[in-house]
């Protein structure tokens, strides 16, 4: 498997965040989504998404990228939740939402602290309830460092790895 240092991602507009967002969109564009119709990259402001696939039935799969390189604090969770709610509020055909971060979800068990995985699971329940209140059923998925590296490690993505990280 390819070793990636997310701090070495190629910046776009002098921004590592913009670079990470663009990489996620390039990987999302290469995803095989059943019944995909067309792919769209979104500029800023983005309404809670960096890009989306519209499917043949009009439903939407959206990706949100946040360049948070350490465990999430309350402010960062708030940013993600605002993006999720914005996507739900403005896209009544949303059926799948991918949150992409260059970290993996830790699940260390400690007495006084919830792990990132436990917090993620709580947020998914919260977001699904919000979606249901708007009449939507949305699947939430996590693309962390491992999921992103797995995609970058595919032979067909060798050029992406070289471009974004100057690595074969």
CA distance linking residue 145 with residue 102, whole number of Å:
5
Contact status, residue 142 vs residue 152, Cβ threshold 8 Å: no
pTM of the model: 0.94
Question: Pick from 149, 167, 120: which is nearest to 24 by CA?
Answer: 149
List, for residues 22-50, the tens digit of each pLDDT value.
999 999 999 999 999 999 999 887 788 99
For residue 62, what are the CA distances in angstroms to 8, 124, 125? 26, 15, 18
pLDDT tens for residues 86-121? 999 999 999 999 999 999 998 877 777 889 999 999
């Amino acid at each position: 498997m390819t070793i990636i240092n997310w701090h070495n991602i190629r910046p776009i507009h002098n921004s590592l965040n913009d670079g990470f967002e663009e990489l996620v969109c390039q990987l999302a564009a290469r995803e095989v989504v059943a019944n995909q119709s067309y792919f769209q990259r979104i500029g800023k402001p983005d309404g809670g998404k960096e890009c989306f696939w519209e499917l043949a039935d009009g439903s939407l799969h959206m990706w949100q990228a946040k360049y948070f390189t350490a465990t999430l604090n309350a402010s960062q969770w708030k940013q993600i939740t605002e993006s999720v709610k914005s996507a739900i509020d403005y896209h009544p055909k949303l059926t799948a939402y991918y949150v992409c971060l260059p970290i993996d979800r830790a699940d260390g068990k400690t007495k006084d602290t919830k792990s990132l995985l436990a917090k993620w699971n709580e947020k998914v329940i919260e977001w699904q309830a919000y979606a249901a209140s708007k009449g939507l059923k949305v699947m939430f998925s996590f693309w962390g460092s491992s999921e992103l590296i797995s995609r970058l490690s595919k032979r067909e993505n060798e050029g992406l790895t070289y471009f974004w990280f100057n690595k074969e």
